[in-house]
């Protein structure tokens, strides 16, 4: 029995054989065994299958918990880093000239160059220059 269990689960073979004998002892008053060798080998095989089923399930749970915890840790860190980045961008935007700030804000809200030009009564090339200036300022000065 031990050899059979050791073949599949070397480190847990003793525990599996022990569990088989414990189960046999607990059922001693109600069990009738015609072929003891066959019964014990079958009992060991079933315990081995249960061992693998439980461990694969447990490993899956542990892996899921580890992945979820890691994801949660990273998401909290990402949120924190995002807030720092947004604050830094806001600070850098305030350093731009007023018109450039206005054009960049409108661009960030999703307005295209034509809409911005029409609304502010300036040329599209001026809008493009303001956006380029704002983005260049951000690229050169972002510390994060």
pLDDT digits (tens, 9 = 90+) for 85-103: 888 888 899 999 999 999 9
Print the domain residue range for 144.
Answer: 95-144
In a domain, 69, yes or no: yes
Look at residue 126 and tell me whether its pLDDT is greater than 70: yes
Q: Give the CATH number, domain containing residue 108.
A: 1.10.10
Report which of 104, 109, 111 is spatially closest to residue 129, judged by C-alpha positions.
104
Do 103 and 133 have their domain in common? yes
Q: What mean pLDDT, rounded, does the chain reach? A: 85
The span from the CA of 78 to the CA of 88, in Å, is 15
pTM of the full structure: 0.47
Euclidean distance between CA atoms 13 and 35, whole angstroms = 22
- CA–CA separation, 60 vs 127, rounded Å? 55
- Assess if residue 87 is contained within a domain: no
Question: 19 near 47, Cβ under 8 Å?
Answer: yes
Q: How many domains does the chain have?
A: 2
Residue with tokens 């542990």: 62
């Amino acid at each position: 029995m031990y050899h059979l269990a050791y073949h599949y689960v070397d480190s847990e073979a003793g525990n599996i054989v022990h569990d088989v004998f414990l189960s046999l002892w607990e059922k001693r008053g109600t069990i009738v065994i015609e072929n003891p060798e066959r019964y014990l080998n079958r009992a060991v095989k079933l315990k081995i299958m249960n061992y693998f089923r439980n461990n694969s399930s447990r490993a899956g749970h542990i892996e899921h918990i580890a992945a979820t915890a890691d994801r949660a840790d990273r998401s909290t860190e990402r949120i924190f880093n995002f807030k720092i980045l947004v604050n830094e961008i806001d600070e850098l935007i305030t350093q731009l000239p007023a018109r450039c700030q206005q054009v960049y804000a409108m661009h960030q809200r999703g307005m295209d160059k034509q809409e911005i030009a029409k609304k502010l009564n300036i040329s599209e090339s001026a809008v493009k220059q303001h956006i380029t200036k704002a983005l260049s300022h951000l690229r050169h000065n972002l510390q994060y």
